[in-house]
Amino acid sequence: MDKIEHKNVSVNGINMHIAELGEGPLVLFLHGFPELWYSWRHQILFLASHGYRAVAPDLRGYGDTTGAPVNDSSKFSPLHIVGDLIALTQAIAPDQEKVFVVGHDWGAFIAWHLCLFRPDKVRALVNLSVAFFPRNPSCSLVESLRSAYGDDYYVCRFQKPGEIEAEFAQIGVKNFIKKMLTYRTPGPLFFPQGKGFGDSPDTPVVLPSWLTDEDVDYFVSKFEKTAFTGAVNYYRALNNVTWELTAPWTGAQVKVPTKFVIGELDLTYHMPGVQEYIHKGGFKRDVPLLEEVVVVKDAAHFINQERPDEVSKHIHDFIKQY
Residues recognised as catalytic: 105, 235, 301
Would you call 293 helix, strand, or coil by DSSP?
Answer: strand
**Residues ≥6 apart with Cβ < 8 Å to 59:** 30, 31, 65, 81, 84, 106, 107, 110
The distance in angstroms from the start CA to the end CA of the chain is 28
Helical spans, DSSP H, in the chain = 41-49, 78-92, 106-117, 141-149, 154-157, 163-171, 173-181, 213-226, 229-237, 243-245, 274-279, 282-286, 303-306, 308-319
Whether 73 and 236 have beta carbons less than 8 Å apart is answered as yes
Distance of alpha carbon 106 from alpha carbon 235, whole angstroms: 9
